[in-house]
Amino acid sequence: MLGFFDSGLGGLSVLREVQKQMPSYSYIYLGDNARTPYGSHSHETIYRFTKQGVSYLFDKGAEMIILACNTASSSALRRIQMEFLPKYYPKKKVLGIIIPTAEEVIEQTKTKEVGILATEATVQSFAYPKEITKMDSSIKVHQQAGTLLVPIIEAGEFEWDGLDSILKKYLKELLERSNKIDTLVLACTHYALIEDKIKKRVPSRVKIISQGEIVAKKLKKYLEHHPEIESSLDKTGKRIFYSSEDSWRVKNLFNQFYGEPVEVKKVFLK
Residues catalogued as catalytic: 69, 188
**Quick one: which of 155, 150, 148, 151 has its CA closest to 250?**
155
Interaxial angle between packed helices 211-225 and 11-21, expressed in degrees from 0 to 180 and rounded to the nearest 10: 50
Residues 6 or more apart whose Cβ sits within 8 Å of residue 36: 7, 8, 150, 151, 154
Q: Is 110 in a helix, a strand, or coil?
A: coil
Residues 6 or more apart whose Cβ sits within 8 Å of residue 189: 6, 10, 11, 13, 14, 68, 69, 70, 97, 211, 212
DSSP 8-state code for residue 3:
E
Lateral strand order in the sheet of 140-145: 140-145, 113-118, 183-186, 207-209
Distance from the Cα of residue 57 to its chain's centroid:
17
**Quick one: which of 84, 268, 68, 79 has its CA closest to 187?**
68
Rg of the Cα atoms in the chain = 18
Q: Supply angle C-alpha 33, 12, 88, rounded to 5.
A: 70
Give the torsion sign (CA, 157, 208, 81, 265).
Answer: positive
